Chains A and B, each alone.
Chain A
Amino acid sequence: MYAQLIKADTSQREEDAARTQAFQRRIDAGEKIEPKDWMPEGYRRTLIRQIGQHAHSEIVGQLPEGNWISRAPTLERKTILLAKVQDEAGHGLYLYCAAETLGVSRDEMTEMLLDERMKYSSIFNYPTLTWADMGAVGWLVDGAAIMNQVPLQRTSYGPYARAMIRICKEESFHQRQGFDIMNQLAKGTPAQKTMAQNALDRFWYPALMMFGPPDSDSVHSEQNMAWKIKMNGNDELRQKFVDLTVPQAEYLGLTIPDETLQWNEEKGGYDFAGPDWGEFFDVIKGNGPCNKERLEARRKAWEDGAWVRDGLLAHAKKKARRAAQEAA
Chain B
Amino acid sequence: MTSPKDDSSSTNPQAPQPVNQLANQPTSQNEWPLWEVFIRGQHGMSHRHFGSLHAANAEMAIKNARDVYTRRNEGVSIWVVQANDITASSPSDKGPLYEPAEDKVYRHPSFYKIPDDIGAM
Contacts and interface: CB of A to CB of B under 8 A. Distances in A.
Interface of A: 34-38, 83, 86-87, 90, 93-94, 97, 100-107, 162-163, 166, 170, 307, 309-321, 324
Nearest to B8: A317
B87 interface: no
Interface string B50-68: 0111101100100000011
B2 interface: yes
Contacts of A320: 11, 33
B15 interface: yes
A34 B21 CA distance: 12
Main secondary structure of the interface of B (DSSP, over half): loop
Given A107-B28, A321-B10, A324-B12, 15 more contacts: A36-B23, A36-B90, A36-B91, A87-B71, A101-B23, A105-B25, A170-B72, A309-B32, A311-B1, A312-B32, A312-B56, A315-B57, A316-B56, A317-B11, A320-B33
B4 interface: yes
A90 B68 contact: yes
Nearest to A87: B71
Main secondary structure of the interface of A (DSSP, over half): helix
B110 interface: no
A316 B33 contact: yes
A107 to B, nearest CB: 6
Contacts of A97: 51-53
A162 B37 CA distance: 14
Interface string B7-49: 1101110010000011111001011111000000000000000
A100 B52 contact: yes
Contacts of A163: 51
A315 B52 contact: no
B88 interface: yes
Q: Which residue, A35, A93, A310, A317, has most C-beta atoms of chain B within 10 A?
A: A317
B4 A37 contact: no
Given A163-B51, A311-B1, A100 B88 contact: no
5 contacts: A34-B91, A38-B91, A104-B25, A314-B1, A317-B7
